Amino acid sequence: MAAASHRLSGDTVWTVPVADALAAVAFDPFGRGLSPLFGCSRVAPMGLAQQVLSRALGDAPAGAAYTLRIVTEPEFYPLGYLLVARWRARRVMTLRWPLMAVGYRTTLWVFAVYVTATPVAGNPAVLGFTRVALVGQSLFAVVAAAIMEHRLQHPRGAAAAP
């Protein structure tokens, strides 16, 4: 059965922040709790965000990184997946959504680690490039994509199949 196409509707608009919120609920306990529990580094984006803001703005307030994350991440990752990666997965590369979700999130993560962390924040190029960080990013991607795929294929109010 072919995947259902989607239109930008109220359901789709609400699906984006809901997918991010639930993905963050999966990612944060992993990154802040399970990763250190197993002897790996704590995986949390706030430190890098604060460094980037401080370097770009001079003296950034302590809550600026958190605010930046809360304002941008709930919209930009899921929207990018929905409008770019999902389209590419279906029409260009014919990848299944979990593979595209992990590939897209990994691309964003490499951009953050190598582009943002290195020239902007002044960190070494290998900052955060660990398997545990990749696992956390992949977990986030699959949860967010699964929610979006489910909601787009089963919109609220749609008639049930006979």
Q: What is the pLDDT of residues 64-117, one digit of tens each?
A: 888 877 777 767 777 888 888 887 777 776 678 888 888 888 887 777 777 776
| pLDDT for the residue 124 | 67
Residue among 20, 108, 28 nearest 100 (CA)? 108
Q: Which has more pLDDT, 4 or 37? A: 37
- Alpha carbons 139 and 29: distance in angstroms, whole number: 11
Instruction: Answer yes or no: are the C-beta atoms of 53 and 68 closer than 8 Å.
Output: yes
Residue labelled with tokens 């790996």: 40
Helix (H) or strand (E) holding 52: helix 46-57
DSSP letters of 111-159? IIIIIIIIIIT---TTTT-SHHHHHHHHHHHHHHHHHHHHHHHS-TTPP
User: Would you call 30 exposed, middle or buried from its count of C-beta atoms within 10 A (0-12, 13-18, 19+)?
Assistant: middle
**Residue 4: is its pLDDT beyond 50?**
no
Higher pLDDT among residues 52 and 44, named by residue: 52
Report d(CA 31, CA 24) in Å as an integer: 10
Looking at residue 7, its pLDDT comes to 58
Residues 42-48: what's their mean pLDDT?
73
H/E element, 3: none
The CA distance from 140 to 150, in Å, is 16
As a whole number of angstroms, the distance between CA 129 and CA 153 comes to: 34
pTM attached to this predicted model: 0.73
In which residue are the tokens 């943002």 written?
Answer: 116
